[in-house]
Amino acid sequence: MALQQRLTDLGYWNGKADGTFGGRTQQAVYALQKAAGLGRDGVVGPKTQKALDQGVRPEAKSNKGRVIEINLKRQLLMLVDDGTVSHIFNTSTGSMERYEQNGAMFLADTPSGKFRVSRQIDGWRHAPLGLLWRPKYFNGGIAVHGANSVPPYPASHGCARLSIAAMNWLWNNDKIPIDTRVWVY
């Protein structure tokens, strides 16, 4: 419970503290490890505990309004309000590997830039490249969406994956409405 509460106090989303080190807590630990520049094993060893004790948090790049910031180097997704990071999530973006679709080759990248959420689907989207839970599209077919697998490294075709629980929380609390700014860097 103390670990979960400390993560929450620092802004690392891990749902409601329940005293069980489950998937939500592991996702928050991944995010902390990424913010601290540590190895990403999801375990709270001495280095991760030190980062927790020191209150390591990522800094925002934006300074006005609500912005979803996606840091490709750290593989973090952050909710930022007027320059203050309120919530930090483990994300998995484009793997930079080549893949084939309908006989054509593509690069699995998440393009950097400034975008806006333009459309959304409240449920499963059976897309050509896989299942997307409650996607919030911000760059053509690229979205922030829930997935059953959110490893602590780039593994998607270009979208920003979050855990199903995190995506449900974002939807249920209207944290990423249509027209929300998204800054990928």
DSSP one-letter code for 16: S
Query: Is the CB of residue 33 less than 8 Å from the CB of residue 25?
Result: no
What band does 67 get if pLDDT is binned at 50, 70 and 90?
A: very high
Question: Do β-strands 66-71 and 76-81 pair in parallel, antiparallel, or remain unpaired?
Answer: antiparallel
Number of independent structural domains in the chain:
2
Asked if residue 138 is part of any domain, the answer here is yes
Residues 120 and 160 occupy one common structural domain: yes
Q: Which domain holds residue 43?
A: 2-54
Q: Are the C-beta atoms of 156 and 108 separated by less than 8 Å?
A: yes
Task: Indicate if 80 and 39 belong to the same structural domain.
Answer: no
Express as a percent the part of the chain with pLDDT over 90: 99
**Tokens at 74, concatenated:** 């750290």
> Domain check: are 155 and 87 in the same one?
yes
Name the strand (E) or helix (H) holding 50: helix 46-54
pLDDT digits (tens, 9 = 90+) for 130-164: 999 999 999 999 999 999 999 999 999 999 999 99
pLDDT band at 104 (very low <50, low <70, confident <90, very high): very high
Is 179 inside a domain boundary? yes
Assess if residue 127 is contained within a domain.
yes
Q: Closest Cα partner for 150 from 72, 57, 75, 78?
A: 75
Structure tokens at 143: 């979205």
Q: Is 126 a catalytic residue?
A: no
Instruction: Please indicate, yes or no, if residue 59 is contained in any of the structural domains.
Output: no
- 26/80 same-domain check: no
Give the whole-angstrom CA distance, residue 128 versus residue 43. Answer: 34
Domain containing residue 39: CATH number: 1.10.101.10
Structure tokens at 25: 């807590």
- How far, in Å, are 11, 87, 129, 173 from residue 170 at the CA level? 14, 10, 23, 5
Question: Do 102 and 149 share a domain, yes or no?
Answer: yes
Q: Report yes or no on 156 lying in a domain.
A: yes
Question: Across the chain, what does the average pLDDT equal?
Answer: 97
145 an active-site residue?
Answer: yes
Residue 154 covered by a domain: yes
Q: What is the pLDDT of residues 108-129, one digit of tens each?
A: 999 999 999 999 999 999 999 9
87, 126, 145, 157: the catalytic one is 145
Any domain includes 144: yes
Please list, in sequence order, all residues whose beta carbon lies within 8 angstroms of the beta carbon of residue 15, skipping any fewer than 6 positions away.
Answer: 24, 165, 169
Q: Are residues 72 and 43 in the same domain?
A: no
Find the CATH number of the domain harbouring 71.
2.40.440.10
- Asked if residue 9 and residue 86 are part of one domain, the reply reads no
73 & 13 share domain: no
Q: Which of 87, 126, 157, 159 is catalytic?
A: 159
